Amino acid sequence: MKRKGSANIAALFLAATLLAGCAAGPDFQRPEPPPAARYTARPLKLEGKGAGREAAQQILLGDALDQAWWQLFRSEALTGVVKRALARNRTLAAAGYRLAEARELAAARAGTLKPQLGMTAGAGREKYGDEFLGNSPKPPPFTYFAVGPTISYSLDYTGGGARSVEQENARADYQRQQLDAAYLAVTGNAVMESLRIASLRAQIAAVRTVLVLDEEDLKLVQEAFAAGSVSRLDIVSTGSRLADDSAQLPSLNQALSLARHALALVLGQTPADGALPEFDLAQLTLPRQLPVSLPSSLAHRRPDILAAEAELHAATAAVGVATANLYPHIDIGASFAQQSTATSQLFERSMNAWGLTAGLVAPIFDGGTLRAERRAAVDAMQASTAKYQQTVLAAFGQVADSLQALDHDAEALEAVGKSRQAAGDNLDLMRASYREGNIGVLEVHDAERRLSQASLAYVRVRAQRYMDTAQLFLALGGAVEDAQ
């Protein structure tokens, strides 16, 4: 009888093993990105050669970044800030620990597919009842001791266990992409706040230059009024212009403070903790050549797209898990123990005892629970598919917006450059006319003020071009280094 029972269990094990190659649920297929060859409907001016020295940026469609993108600005100070942020940012550190947690959970789930070996030990006192032994002699109450190993194994003949491991690995991959996204966000915030600081400092300097000229104009008008050559209306008009220009400083100073505070947080410090670098646009080099990967490549490099892909993978594996739950579960167990009523005889050979078990649990009626759970898993997979597709479209849109912004920045820079040149030429003419005695000094100061205002507009457009360039690199997914 024992041999027959063992043979039945072995046959059950063999049959389940032969079925183990049939994994439940659909196999994950990496989704194909939209068949787009470019990001914008029409070619951009920057896709050709630059229109001039100031607008000489060029898009290299089909090329990809092969280095840390912030290094393209050729600023050691900027590179130093990024390194500090990567070393001390708390958000990045938290993402790293979440990835480590996800990987350990995946390893733990994989361990459940292997045989489980344990050790049991116990002691107790027992008395058999009359009904149990019937007419046989009844032993008195006795104390027993037992110790020995046990082994158990769940047959994954449906592949549900393998799908659950696949699901955990996909979740770990999602956390890896989240770490890359945090890496990109930290580097991007460090660069963008640094560029914003440089822009605001340049704007503040330009406004202060205008204010100096306004104050000189007001002083000259006051002197002319004392001499009786101008009316009080001229004083009011000049003073009003000084007040209007002065009103720009508080908002610019506030924006500069906010940018410095934001940079401090990215660097993992409080706003009052340590000095921050002061950036100048003159210390930065505008990247002239802009590598822009093709849309098909973008879908395989942006962390948010890859994270959505990992979520879709996990949702696909969940369908397999739900499908496997519709089938019977088979568990096999074995035990070997030393059993005795006296500890002195516990490890004698005659005290050996063993057992071999097999169990099957099959769902028959569950009120439709398991099939509803599978339909829900399929719905979740479809939702993840739609989310992935929308993430790809949003990424394409962000790149298109950045490319279009740079195209318009080039146009704007050319326009304000011409305006600044015209203001400079006008100032030269005014100074020549003043030297010949044809106009007064107020006209010269007014021309100087117009030049300063044109220079302020030029600074703003130029700074925006730096920031839009950085935004393009971020929209392209940067060149994410090993952040793990």
Spell out the domains of the chain, with CATH numbers in brackets: 24-113+174-328+369-475 (1.20.1600.10)
Residue 105 has a pLDDT of 94
pLDDT at 16: 47
Q: Is 120 helix (H, G, I), strand (E, B) or coil?
A: strand
Backbone angles phi, psi at 157, to 5 degrees: -70, -20
Q: What is the pLDDT of residue 176?
A: 96
Q: State the residue for tokens 């457009």.
A: 461
Euclidean distance between CA atoms 446 and 430, whole angstroms: 9
pLDDT tens-digit profile, the chain (484 residues): 444 544 554 454 444 444 444 567 799 999 988 888 899 988 888 887 654 455 578 999 888 887 799 999 999 999 999 999 999 999 999 999 999 999 999 999 999 999 988 888 888 888 777 766 667 777 788 787 788 888 988 888 888 999 999 999 999 999 999 999 999 999 999 999 999 999 999 999 999 988 998 898 888 888 888 888 778 888 888 888 889 889 999 999 999 999 999 999 999 999 988 788 889 988 899 999 999 999 999 999 999 999 999 999 999 999 999 999 999 988 888 888 777 777 777 777 777 788 888 888 888 888 999 999 999 999 999 999 999 999 999 999 999 999 999 999 989 999 999 999 999 999 899 889 878 878 877 788 888 889 988 999 999 999 999 999 999 999 999 875 544 4
> Distance between CA atoms of 181 and 169, rounded to whole angstroms?
18
Burial grade of 392 (CB within 10 A; 0-12, 13-18, 19 or more): buried
Q: Taking a C-beta distance cutoff of 8 angstroms, is the pair 331, 151 a contact?
A: no
Rg (CA), the chain: 38
Q: How far apart are CA 263 and CA 198, in angstroms?
A: 12
208, 250 contact by CB (below 8 A): no
CA distances from 300 to 32, 64, 166, 475, 483 (A): 10, 12, 20, 13, 17
What pLDDT score was predicted for residue 337? 79
Torsion of CA 100, 101, 102, 103, to 10 degrees: 50
> How do beta strands 58-61 and 289-292 pair?
parallel
Q: How far is CA 351 from CA 176, 336, 394, in A?
A: 54, 11, 71
Phi first, then psi, for residue 442 (nearest 5°) are -65, -40
Longest CA–CA separation in the chain, Å:
140
Question: The pTM is what?
Answer: 0.84
